[in-house]
Chains A and B, each alone.
Chain A
Amino acid sequence: MAVKVIEQKPLTILERTYLPQIVGGLKITARNMLKPSVTLQYPDERPVIPAGYRGVPVLVKDPHGREKCVSCQLCEFVCPPKAIRITPGEIAADSPNAHVEKAPKEFEINMLRCIYCGLCQEVCPEEAIWLQNNYSLAGFSREQLVHNKARLYELGGTLPDSHYKWDKKKADAEAAEHEGHH
């Protein structure tokens, strides 16, 4: 890279008194004083969360109220700080969701470990885990910051679903069986 040497001009007498520079600085700060402040009055005013923000990871349900997670444990494997711990469980045969076969018995995310990387959301085949808008998280003890399944669903709520993958699967299977009879 070519180096461009800039010749330093000697300071003029006026400059050496510092005064013009000081007056210039005072002018700038005076102008700043008259400008409105840029402060966001935080607890009263909330920042606008941009789309794609990576907040607290939570679990969601589909509009029918079915928990979307099938406890495939991909997120548990991918999570870099090992914040997720899943205990897989079966779905009872008499449940309307019996065709999904599996659901987590317990699902814990340790928020003291989570680094908000979003890999869990990216890896989930069921779109069951989301990093939503919640950016402020606090608790009085370490235990409080280990979110269990109930808490994760409470925080996550319901998200719209465009696939209803399992219902389609079930319908297809039923149709295939029906055809097989013919």
Chain B
Amino acid sequence: MNRTAITEFLAQNELLLRAVGAIAIMSVVLGMANLCVWLERKVSAWIQGRVGPNRTNTPLIAWIPVVGPLLGKLGLVQAAADGGKLLFKEDPVPGHVNKPYYYLAPVCALAPALVVLVMLPFGMLPGGTPLTLCHVDTGFLFMFAVSSLGVYGITLAGWAANSKYPFLGAVRGAAQLISYELALGLSIIPVVLATAAPGVESPLNLTAIVLNQSEVASGMVPAMWHIISHPLSALIFLVAIFAETNRHPFDMPESETDLVGGFHTEYGSFKFGLFFVAEYGHMVIGSALFTLFFLGGWSLSPVADAKLMELLSLNTLFGGYALTVLGLGVFLAKLASLIFFFMWVRWTLPRFRYDQVMDIGWRKLLPLAIANLIFYVVFYGVKAGH
């Protein structure tokens, strides 16, 4: 097949292409969730002066010369072993649970996380087409809406379990989500305001927000990452993301010291695994959103991008693609560092008390977010007036 034939084939089978893309993205993110488990184990070990998993291996992998034993030494096979263990465990359904909801809950927890993925832009093709499965103009509004549906999984699980600890966990989860969603949404609006400029199609679109942080694309001088131009927004967003993903120090729905296992107390085996993956999935998405909103997404740095583009544009065909691949790498690197940060925080801080969580959410974060919003509204208003 020559080039045109391939192009034609792709044009005719767009649906197929999207399905392949969706599966690819899903496997990458689920793979990342699995790697997160590994990283979590390793980071906790490093912080506590241990070595972490370094012995798990299976015959087939161990037989690969050099690479096999190395994988075992690094503990990477442990991630697979963790998944396999959950898969092969007995799956008891307690007699007192509300069966339909009990079965529905893990799916409800994971599905939103996967749906959000299709809208996540993670790079840019040479022509300026964003690398995403589904380009939506309402962008992150839709993402927030869907990803917060994840709490239904938690609530359903707590409700279906028909016992008090999971129920308490579920109630806490729901309350926490509502409290922090407000601050989360409000903290983003200044960034949207910064993006909204004449000529920008939709400032709600994540791609537009990313492009606003790069000089070449926005044509704005000086362009900078939003974390520098909107530090308070970034801080509020980060805290809220921690709360939204139920990560330490905000893991209210789980708080295993006072609620046994929280909402998933009655779950075992693979159903528990789904909750587990969902948590890491949400974490990956949260980190991705933070990267896109505040860390410039796939751009290396506001200034370096232009230089790179000049350098690479010497080779017209591959230069553009090289930039795409580089951008993808940059995006993943930022994502990975954020995920690392999530874990670093988890193994550093103790859990907040429930009343503290509510206090921070309503009495600190929300007013702060509103003040921040007002400040930027006035700022941009004055700027536009000039």
Size class of the B contact interface (CB-based, 8 Å):
10 to 19
B43 at the interface (CB under 8 A from A): yes
Bound-state CA distance A35–B47 (Å) is: 9
A32 at the interface (CB under 8 A from B): yes
Check if B49 sits within 8 Å of A32, measured CB to CB: yes
Check if A26 sits within 8 Å of B49, measured CB to CB: no
Bound-state CA distance A43–B43 (Å) is: 24
B51 at the interface (CB under 8 A from A): yes
Check if A32 sits within 8 Å of B349, measured CB to CB: no
Residues of B contacting A17 in the complex (Cβ-Cβ under 8 angstroms): 364
Bound-state CA distance A30–B51 (Å) is: 15
A22 at the interface (CB under 8 A from B): yes
Bitwise, A22-34 to B at CB < 8 A (1) or not (0) is: 1001101110110
Bitwise, B326-357 to A at CB < 8 A (1) or not (0) is: 00000000000000000011011100000000
Contact of A29 among B47, B50, B51, B364 (CB under 8 A): B47
B141 at the interface (CB under 8 A from A): no
Bound-state CA distance A107–B47 (Å) is: 50
Bound-state CA distance A28–B349 (Å) is: 11
A37 at the interface (CB under 8 A from B): yes
Check if B344 sits within 8 Å of A29, measured CB to CB: yes
A141 at the interface (CB under 8 A from B): no
CB B233 to nearest CB in A, in angstroms, measures: 16
Bound-state CA distance A179–B45 (Å) is: 76
Residues of A contacting B315 in the complex (Cβ-Cβ under 8 angstroms): none
Check if A39 sits within 8 Å of B344, measured CB to CB: no
A2 at the interface (CB under 8 A from B): no
Residues of A contacting B47 in the complex (Cβ-Cβ under 8 angstroms): 29, 32-33
A38 at the interface (CB under 8 A from B): yes
Question: Which of A22, A35, A39: most chain B CB closer than 10 A?
Answer: A39
CB A136 to nearest CB in B, in angstroms, measures: 18
Residues of A contacting B379 in the complex (Cβ-Cβ under 8 angstroms): none
B142 at the interface (CB under 8 A from A): no
Bound-state CA distance A39–B347 (Å) is: 18
Check if B49 sits within 8 Å of A30, measured CB to CB: no
CB B232 to nearest CB in A, in angstroms, measures: 12
Interface residues of A in 99-137 (CB under 8 A from B): none
Question: Which of A22, A29, A39: most chain B CB closer than 10 A?
Answer: A29
Residues of A contacting B347 in the complex (Cβ-Cβ under 8 angstroms): 29
Check if B348 sits within 8 Å of A28, measured CB to CB: yes
Residues of A contacting B318 in the complex (Cβ-Cβ under 8 angstroms): none
Is the contact region of chain A dominated by helix, strand, or loop, or is it mixed? helix
B7 at the interface (CB under 8 A from A): no
Check if A37 sits within 8 Å of B51, measured CB to CB: yes
Chain A residue with minimal CB distance to B368? A17
Chain B residue with minimal CB distance to A31? B47
Question: Which of B50, B348, B349, B364: most chain A CB closer than 10 A?
Answer: B348
Bound-state CA distance A32–B348 (Å) is: 11
Bound-state CA distance A21–B127 (Å) is: 47
Check if B349 sits within 8 Å of A38, measured CB to CB: no
CB B335 to nearest CB in A, in angstroms, measures: 19
B46 at the interface (CB under 8 A from A): yes
Bitwise, B358-370 to A at CB < 8 A (1) or not (0) is: 0000001000000
B58 at the interface (CB under 8 A from A): no
Counting from the closest, the 10 A-B pairs by CB-CB distance are A33-B46, A29-B348, A25-B348, A38-B49, A29-B47, A37-B51, A39-B51, A39-B50, A37-B49, A32-B47
Q: Which residue numbers of A lie inside 8 Å of B, CB to CB?
A: 17, 22, 25-26, 28-30, 32-33, 35, 37-39, 41
A to B CB contacts below 8 Å, 12 in the list: A22-B348, A25-B349, A26-B344, A26-B348, A29-B47, A29-B348, A32-B46, A32-B47, A37-B46, A37-B50, A39-B51, A41-B51
Given A37-B46, A39-B49, 12 more pairs with CB closer than 8 A: A22-B348, A22-B349, A25-B349, A26-B344, A28-B348, A29-B348, A32-B46, A32-B47, A33-B43, A33-B47, A38-B50, A41-B51
